[in-house]
Amino acid sequence: MVKAVVLGAAGGIGQPLALLLKANPLVTELGLFDIVNTPGVAADLSHISTPAKVEGFLPPDDGLKKALAGADIVVIPAGVPRKPGMTRDDLFKINAGIVKDLAAGIATTAPKAFVLVISNPVNSTVPIVAEVFKKFGVFDPKRLFGVTTLDVVRASTFVAEILGDLSLSKDVVVPVVGGHSGVTIVPLLSQSSHPLPAGFAKDSYDTLVNRIQFGGDEVVKAKSGAGSATLSMAYAGAEFAAKIIRAVKGEKGIVAPSYVSVEADAAGGAALTKELGQELAFFSSNVELGTDGVTKIIPLGKITEAEQTLITAALPELVKNIETGVNFIAAAY
């Protein structure tokens, strides 16, 4: 039995994500919470002939608590998206408070759930959840994940495009590490399961890296004021959630990049810190998943000089983003 809960379930990501979770045969219960429209979304999804029982909740009458009761996995896409000209950090002012309150709800109602944070800026909202959980004495670093899967999905797609065969994209695996915004998104193309063509030019490499780092901006611009990536994010979020669920069900050897606390695996975290040459509380790296969440943080391994330069550029930004999240909670409690 697996209960999945979506917080922000009536939104641009929330609705298609809820649809994909409803389509996952391993999900037996689906709780949908938002400040608007969840009864309608739940009624609609509940007619789909898959196992999950669906229920929608709104804030009155302890709706958040009711949605979260018994949750095994909680996915959070609640919050405002970007408009053209904005950075993800510009969302902090509104989304930090939303994520803080939802985290408090999870801490009191479903403290053992696996928590998957989509709300931006992920580099700061994940530390917010961790700090709230610490305040409530329930922080388990193995169970908290920043969802960076969309960067991985984009990297697979763009590499397959370059290789001239989009049908490869489901098999192309490119570790994307660091964080989830601009220069903190670091694709390790040298470790791609499908190498770039021999003689791939330096300027083409730079263009590809830039497209992976700023893929979100491409969508924000194309939607011209109507929001940011929703459908590709729902796909990515459902893929990552499915991996967690399969791992929880006992499947071994599942590895995916995610933005996690370096405390999730002391040895792996220490090896990663050594590679980075500095301490960072959170970093996105490949992690191995098991029944209790993160079983291993997999260090970066062999990377190129160009990738090292990208990592070096990412670090100060990550330090700042993490601090912003931690300070927000320190001031709030």
Residues flagged as binding site: 8-14, 34, 82, 88, 95, 118-120, 154, 233
In this complex, which beta carbon is closest to ligand NAD, that of residue 113 or of residue 233? 233
The string over 281-296, giving b where at least 16 C-beta atoms fall within 10 Å of a residue's C-beta and e elsewhere, is bbbbbbbbbbeebbbb
Tokens standing for residue 130: 């961790």
Question: Is 194 a residue of the active site?
Answer: no
Burial class (CB in 10 A: 0-12, 13-18, 19+), 14: buried
In this complex, which beta carbon is closest to ligand LMR, that of residue 29 or of residue 151? 151
Residue 107 interacts with ligand NAD (CB under 6 A): yes or no: no
Question: Annotated binding site for substrate, which residues?
Answer: 82, 88, 120, 154
Residues 137-156 that bind ligand LMR (CB under 6 A): 150
Residue 54 interacts with ligand NAD (CB under 6 A): yes or no: no
Q: Give the residue carrying structure tokens 């944070």.
A: 117
> Parallel, antiparallel, or unpaired: how do β-strands 53-57 and 29-33 relate?
parallel
Q: How far is CA 12 from CA 27, 81, 88, 250, in A?
A: 21, 9, 17, 32
Under 8 Å between Cβ of 68 and 5: yes
Instruction: Return the residue of 14, 63, 215, 257 that touches ligand NAD, per CB under 6 A.
Output: 14
Q: Give the residue carrying structure tokens 């011209």.
A: 224
Residue 126 interacts with ligand LMR (CB under 6 A): yes or no: no
In angstroms, what is the minimal distance from the CB of 80 to ligand NAD? 6
Residue 229 interacts with ligand LMR (CB under 6 A): yes or no: yes
In angstroms, what is the minimal distance from the CB of 81 to ligand LMR? 6
| Binding footprint of ligand NAD on the chain (CB under 6 A) | 7-8, 10-14, 33-36, 77-82, 91, 95, 98, 102, 118-120, 122, 147, 150, 180, 227-230, 233
Give me the active site residues, please: 180
